């Protein structure tokens, strides 16, 4: 009987251990699945989720944009999607551009080659650590800083995997990076560094885009430096003019006035964006009584500019 009792106890203990092992295995397996879903780039959801929510506000600890006035030169932007991309990734890119076009002043046009935004795809899975994987990359490639704007010439997007969310969140996220946006610290934002299918598109992003593209795609010629000296009836001066606008300017002129009378005019050839020209003139004969000179860029208004009010400088001159 003692042996039978011992055997029963042993069997009972083994059964208890098996039950505990089964329960523990189930819990560990379920935990593993949740981590796989949550720590990947997506929290995958089947439910329909609205993309826009007035209650979502972005928070940008490092600033909303990579640079202050970062934008493309024109609100009409071309893009190309690589033919090697899967149909799913192509569809997401097209939908994402369409959403931005509908909600902002931007106008996106697909071209077969040479778009300002190049969207490509790769199946080479990138995993920076055991809990995350990279689903996409995006950003500007070339920026021109003209002192007023930081102008994006072109940008690229690279998608590593299909997006299982109802909304094209990964494509939207990467396009916004190309447009110059940094990551938001709000995990409910489409610009949060780790994606999930419940993320929203905030009004902050829409308002910022519309604000950045308020200025039309025009040049803006301004004085950077002016210095003048006069000896008797002879005037010498040096003038630097720079294009702080968004596009190249056509040919124009620089005129000098005294008492509303034009003293002289000098032709200035076209200005590339962010480029300047220096005009040095010595011993220009002027009236002896001249005590003030007015420099005017583009007096005849040959060039339509963003701001016409910065084309005039008045300098007093000691006799």
> What's the length of the chain?
319
Higher pLDDT, 2 or 169: 169
Residue listed under structure tokens 């939908």: 95
Helix, strand or coil, per DSSP, at residue 187: coil
Burial (CB count <10 Å: 0-12, 13-18, 19+), residue 95 = middle
pLDDT at position 196, please?
85
Is residue 260 scored above 90 in pLDDT?
yes
Q: Which helix (H) or strand (E) holds 207?
A: helix 203-212
Q: Please give the backbone phi and psi of residue 253, each rounded to the nearest 5 degrees, phi first.
A: -145, 160
- Read off the pLDDT of each residue in 258-284 and give the average, rounded to a whole number: 95
pLDDT at position 163, please?
84
pLDDT at position 272, please?
95
Give the DSSP per-residue string, 21-82. Answer: HHHHHHHHHHHHHHHHHHSSS-----S---SB-TT-----TT-SBSSTTEEESSSEEEEEE-
Helix, strand or coil, per DSSP, at residue 3: helix
**Token duo for residue 293:** 């000179």
Q: What is the largest CA-CA distance in the chain?
A: 134
Q: Which residues contact 90 (CB under 8 A, 6 or more apart)?
A: 81
pLDDT at position 124, please?
67
- Read off the pLDDT of each residue in 16-26 and give the average, rounded to a whole number: 49
| Mean pLDDT of all residues belonging to the chain | 84
- Read off the pLDDT of each residue in 211-239 and give the average, rounded to a whole number: 96
The pTM of the full predicted model, rounded to 2 decimals, is 0.78
pLDDT at position 5, please?
57
pLDDT at position 133, please?
43
pLDDT at position 9, please?
64
Distance (Å, whole) CA 170 – CA 136: 7
71-114 pLDDT per residue, tens = 999 999 999 999 999 999 999 999 999 999 999 999 999 999 99
Q: Which helix (H) or strand (E) holds 8?
A: helix 2-38
276-291 pLDDT per residue, tens = 999 999 999 999 999 9
Distance (Å, whole) CA 99 – CA 130: 33
Q: Which helix (H) or strand (E) holds 171?
A: helix 169-178
Q: Which helix (H) or strand (E) holds 225?
A: strand 221-231
Q: In order of start, what are the domains of the chain with their CATH numbers?
A: 70-212 (3.40.390.10), 221-316 (2.60.40.10)
Q: Please give the backbone phi and psi of residue 131, each rounded to the nearest 5 degrees, phi first.
A: -105, -10
Between 54-63, 101-110, 164-173, 202-211, the lowest mean confidence (pLDDT) is in 54-63
**Token duo for residue 172:** 């939207």
Terminal C-alpha separation, the chain: 130
Q: Please give the backbone phi and psi of residue 98, each rounded to the nearest 5 degrees, phi first.
A: -65, -40
């Amino acid at each position: 009987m003692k042996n039978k009792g011992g055997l029963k106890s042993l069997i009972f203990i083994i059964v208890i251990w098996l039950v505990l092992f089964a329960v523990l295995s189930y819990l560990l397996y379920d935990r593993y699945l949740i981590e796989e879903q949550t720590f990947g780039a997506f929290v995958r959801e089947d439910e329909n989720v609205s993309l826009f929510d007035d209650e979502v506000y972005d928070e940008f600890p490092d600033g909303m944009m990579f640079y202050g006035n970062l934008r493309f030169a024109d609100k009409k932007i071309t893009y190309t999607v690589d033919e090697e991309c899967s149909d799913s990734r192509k569809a997401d890119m097209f939908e994402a551009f369409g959403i931005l076009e509908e909600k902002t002043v931007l106008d996106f046009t697909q071209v077969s080659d040479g778009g300002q935004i190049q969207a490509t795809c790769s199946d080479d899975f990138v995993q920076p650590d055991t809990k995350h994987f990279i689903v996409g990359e995006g950003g500007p490639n070339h920026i021109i800083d003209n002192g007023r704007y930081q102008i994006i010439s072109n940008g690229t997007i690279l998608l590593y995997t299909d997006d299982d969310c109802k909304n094209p969140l990964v494509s939207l996220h990467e396009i916004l990076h190309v447009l110059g946006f940094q990551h938001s610290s709000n995990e409910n934002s489409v610009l949060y560094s780790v994606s999930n299918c419940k993320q929203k598109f905030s009004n902050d992003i829409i308002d910022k885009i519309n604000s950045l593209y308020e200025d039309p795609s025009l040049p803006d010629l301004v004085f950077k430096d002016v210095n003048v000296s006069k000896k008797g009836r002879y005037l010498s001066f040096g003038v630097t003019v720079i294009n702080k606008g968004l596009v190249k300017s056509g040919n124009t002129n620089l005129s000098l006035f005294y008492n509303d009378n034009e003293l002289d005019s000098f032709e200035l050839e076209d200005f590339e964006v962010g480029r300047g020209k220096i005009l040095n003139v010595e011993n220009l004969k002027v009236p002896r009584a001249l005590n003030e000179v007015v420099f005017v860029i583009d007096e005849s208004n040959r060039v339509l500019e963003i701001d016409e009010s910065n084309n005039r400088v008045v300098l007093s001159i000691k006799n």
